Structure 1
């Protein structure tokens, strides 16, 4: 990967899965700042709120398997098929698509999700309206392969249009809301044309050789996005996945996965974005990994840049090991998740944390527990996260730095064996003057300090040390 002042080496977070590795490498030096004033305003608002919820949900949750990828005929670890039909791709695809006939999430309760996300301090939400398998979690008029379709038992439920219910519920709780939408669609004949069996994740025919088919697919994509932009209330973000669907001119040969794209797959993003913003002024468009004017922020997946990036970006990360529901999930500790958020914010990013609903329409109870624990920390320390911007030195050792108009925040990320703050802390900041106040968020009384060159020696009282024991991050507030 090429390096420049905004093209960084991406460091893997510990415990991250390898799914969807098409997003592991990307040159961000081609980032284009939006020119539209309404988009600029929305982008600034999004950068202020820092913390969001992503939900992958579809028929695949019934089998407790990876989302969509088991349909993909590639010899990759995340595409492995399992079960009685695994030995025959055609039988497997048929059985997979019949999941529509039994998918019945009767415990669907978006109010509980929104309440839990709000208590955790999340401020925006992205929902998978359609993943690569083509199954629509919204009431598309262009296909019957949908949760509201005639073959779907949940269609008779008054809340069967789950996308509409979810967006409305979160919007009512003050969230910015976004629609995840997969550009590739492995169900429609316009993408995986049955005449040519698919060889991989890409379109199964050459669009240049069969332009009529490709035009039908482009129209299908445009019309489904138009449905989402016109029938679901205010939408803040259009989050497009499947970066191999892109014009040949945007393929970066220095990025390994992009070298495997065999055809130009141009769906006319200018037309799509223009239509979407006509209905949703100021809409953020995130055409993932396709650098240019339709990628308003970049989205490293399961990864965190190793240092500050001066462009808008968001790490999308799973709370457990999987994007989709699995019966036994290995959730990251709340301590790790809080430290991850603090690390990301100090590098100028947002954290989009994925929680996957199950086939019955509920989350694992442990996911609620994690969000409660995160929320307890955010209630006390949220001012160091929201409406801040990173300040130099951004990340230094165990320290992370943010600021607003009133204060600078120095956040200390303890190691696993550090349960209490030391009685004396060497703060790697120099106070502006002798009247500067230094305090610990969560403790009312200011702390005593003295200047030592370009650093500050802070004395932490025993009362404060005990009061803030076992916190995932300790935040020092240096008032301006």
Structure 2
């Protein structure tokens, strides 16, 4: 076990680079459904969400699902006592179900930390590519509530329901991550053939009945999530290679390797989901059209504002899943990411991977507390905001309030303690007379002048180095 965990810490530096291959679709289609458009507007104002990748793989501290994929990629490698043969490794991996027992699971603890940090929505992995279900599905016994799984004896064993209920009580929007491919299903990786790569291992056109069974399986599981788990706001679908062949973009390397038409009838799935959950946002990642209601750049931040709803999904550590001793980003780095993303009109979905005991690494709680301390002072410039030209200049980033003639200028700091220059020049082209400029978290009155290129703000000497501010200073400009 230890060898696997140590190796994984090396894998993820490679994995995060490769993860950026999840390129965004080149076109965006505005949803026809007015309720979806309304909910998208609400979601865009939330700005900051929590992502959680969690499954049996956390016991080994290995990459989520991918180590059972027979591709020769850096993040699919198998190490440790079971890695000598593919079949032996998969058998041992799937046997993790019989030891998975996260007895420290307490979603209310997560809610409290996420709420304090200023997070407003949550997306949880109900099922990743390995097919292990973190909810009480009736379609398979490969699930956390199975009698094969020790945690099934716990009254909170249906962790998806517990997580959704706990976060919903604190008014979080609820997102259900669901993997379209299922590497455990005999109707996706048919045991008659060995799996060749991440794709279905048979030609659905040659075996339409088997593919129909897989489509029904997928539909039924999503129907369960849309029916039995309370209000769900976002259906976040991963595994973009499961798609109609007509949608493949051959200019994208990973898409041109998709060998078969893997159409699972998204129209039927979305219609069912929205009948049960009116206004449901569907995120069919990388498959442009009516069912990719926002795009999801992964482990990266677009270099300019986009003309449609979008969300950067980024890990707090180096990995999506739990890895012992993972290298967590500092609060300064996370706040900088949040500011950059929001200034360009997007949302940040920050991932934390729970461990095999059912809890986060203590470092994650520490980071969220630091972020929350900053958000208590500066959050007004984050929420309910839009991007405004020039968006950013150097270490300065801008947002504009949706509800008032107010612009916020975020001055990012490379250090935890903020030091300000004696003068700041905000090259804003917003042509309205300025009424007041203030520094959030401080009561000092500021003086400023205007010229043809924007605003010049004079920072008193008493505020330049001893201002009590951390991570980033935010100037509130009221017109």
Q: What TM-score does the superposition give when structure 2 sets the normalisation length?
A: 0.94
The answer for the alignment partner of 2:471 in structure 1 is 472
The answer for the alignment partner of 1:442 in structure 2 is 441
- Distance apart, 1:23 and its partner CA: 5.5
Question: Greater shift after overlay, 438-447 or 208-217?
Answer: 438-447
Map of 1:118-129 to 2, 5 A cutoff? 118-129=115-126
The answer for the alignment partner of 1:378 in structure 2 is 375
**Post-superposition CA distance 1:422-469 (Å, at most 9, x none):** 122222226756652111111123310112331322111233334535
Map of 1:217-296 to 2, 5 A cutoff? 217-296=214-293
1:191 aligns with 2:188: yes
1:427 aligns with 2:426: yes
Alignment partner of 1:118: what SS? helix
1:96 aligns with 2:93: yes
Map of 1:62-461 to 2, 5 A cutoff? 62-404=59-401, 405-416=404-415, 419-429=418-428, 432=431, 436-461=435-460
The answer for the alignment partner of 2:5 in structure 1 is none
Alignment partner of 2:332: what SS? helix
Mapped partners of 2:134, 2:177: distance in 1: 11
Contact 1:121 1:375 in 2 (8 A): yes
Mapped partners of 1:430, 1:23: distance in 2: 34
Alignment partner of 1:425: what SS? strand
Match of residue 32, structure 1, among 12, 29, 50? 29
The answer for the alignment partner of 1:3 in structure 2 is none
- Distance apart, 1:20 and its partner CA: 8.8
Gaps of 5+ in 2: 1-11
Question: Greater shift after overlay, 389-398 or 245-254?
Answer: 389-398
Runs of 4+ in 1 over 4 A off after TM superposition: 430-435
Contact 1:147 1:161 in 2 (8 A): yes
Contact 1:309 1:347 in 2 (8 A): yes
1:43 aligns with 2:54: no
- Distance apart, 1:383 and its partner CA: 0.7
The answer for the alignment partner of 2:9 in structure 1 is none
Alignment partner of 2:103: what SS? coil
Question: Greater shift after overlay, 430-439 or 447-456?
Answer: 430-439
Contact 1:425 1:458 in 2 (8 A): yes
Contact 2:24 2:295 in 1 (8 A): no
Question: Greater shift after overlay, 314-323 or 463-472?
Answer: 463-472
Alignment partner of 2:84: what SS? coil
**Post-superposition CA distance 1:110-139 (Å, at most 9, x none):** 000000000000000000000000000000
**Post-superposition CA distance 1:189-229 (Å, at most 9, x none):** 00000001001000010000010110000000000000000
**Post-superposition CA distance 1:251-282 (Å, at most 9, x none):** 00011110110111000000000000000000
The answer for the alignment partner of 1:6 in structure 2 is none
- Distance apart, 1:236 and its partner CA: 0.3
Structure 1 residues 116 and 476: CA distance shift in structure 2, 3 A: same
Contact 1:22 1:257 in 2 (8 A): no
- Distance apart, 1:151 and its partner CA: 0.2
**Post-superposition CA distance 1:2-42 (Å, at most 9, x none):** xxxxxxxxxxxxx9753594662535332101121110110
Contact 2:416 2:470 in 1 (8 A): no
Question: Greater shift after overlay, 390-399 or 86-95?
Answer: 390-399
Contact 1:23 1:289 in 2 (8 A): no
Aligned length: 466
Structure 1 residues 213 and 434: CA distance shift in structure 2, 3 A: closer
Gaps of 5+ in 1: 1-14
The answer for the alignment partner of 2:3 in structure 1 is none
Mapped partners of 2:224, 2:134: distance in 1: 12
Alignment partner of 2:49: what SS? strand
The answer for the alignment partner of 1:57 in structure 2 is 54
Alignment partner of 1:125: what SS? strand
The answer for the alignment partner of 2:4 in structure 1 is none
